[in-house]
Amino acid sequence: MNTFEKLPKQKQIAILDGATESFADKGYYGASIKEICLKANISNGALYKYFTNKEELFLAVLYKCQEILVRNLYQKYTHIKYSLFHTVKSYLEEIIKIHQKYPNYIKVYANLGSNNVEHFLTDLHTPFTKSANYIHNMVYEAKANGEILLDMPENELSFLLDNYFILFLNSLVSDYHDLRFRFFLRMKPEEKLTNKRKIEFILGSITPFLVKTE
């Protein structure tokens, strides 16, 4: 157990929350140790007692992001409760709740695809592979239940759903991804785009693959 893990849980959370706020606001390279320490209410010396460098701290934040998503999202939807349609709808609604509760963590997570932080994905290969398996299991179960209308391989439908989920999550923190939804929905500039409408659009696009809808 390292020095950081020996801290009381609330202290760990305070440090990670402060660091995450800085990374979400300024990005990995823009966030300074000084700013992180101010937000976490600790000294520079204390921070370096817990982490070797900023990269190690950022990785701790990314693991926390993954923990939040596994606990609050992936594990809840490993299995289908009613139907795949219902599960996808609930999954998307859950993403909204998680973003409302952990906005900075979700913003940091959403920025993982940028060129500036891609090299961190090597360290996160195993946990992110596990998260993809949750979606694959969901689709596999739906196909076994006879819910998939077309003879579509599980990996292809899983990939499609995963991209929908990522695009939806990104649209909560990025104007660019919100604009992509507006474009494909053929919305006028004065029209208001809601999360409900985005969810309806996604559900409408997967309906042709399904035997039953709700």
CATH label of the domain that carries residue 203: 1.10.357
Model pLDDT, residue 126: 64
Domain extent at residue 102: 62-209
User: Residue 15 falls within a domain, yes or no?
Assistant: no
Q: Is residue 78 part of a domain?
A: yes
**Per-residue CA distances from 65 to 30, 70, 143 (Å):** 19, 9, 30
Does 43 map to a domain?
Answer: no
For 135-195, give the secondary structure using H, E and C: HHHHHHHHHHCCCECCCCCHHHHHHHHHHHHHHHHHHCCCHHHHHHHHHHCCCCCCCCCCH
* Residue 166 included in any domain: yes
Q: What pLDDT score does 127 carry?
A: 62
- On whether residue 66 sits in a domain, the answer given is yes
Task: Pull the structure tokens for residue 162.
Answer: 């995963």
Within a domain: 175: yes
- CA 4 vs. chain centroid, Å, equals 25
Question: Which sign does the torsion angle of CA 113, 21, 122, 71 carry?
Answer: negative
Nearest to 141 by CA among 163, 158, 159: 158
pLDDT digits (tens, 9 = 90+) for 2-38: 788 888 999 899 999 999 999 999 988 899 999 999 9
| pLDDT value, residue 19 | 94
Report how far apart, in Å, the C-alpha atoms of 181 and of each of 143, 191, 201 are.
Answer: 28, 12, 9
Q: For residue 167, is it within any domain? A: yes
Task: Give CA–CA dist 85/108, Å, rounded.
Answer: 29
Number of compact structural domains in the chain: 1
Let me know if residue 53 belongs to a domain: no
Which regions of the chain are under pLDDT 50?
Answer: 1, 213-214
CA separation for the pair 9, 112 (Å, rounded): 26
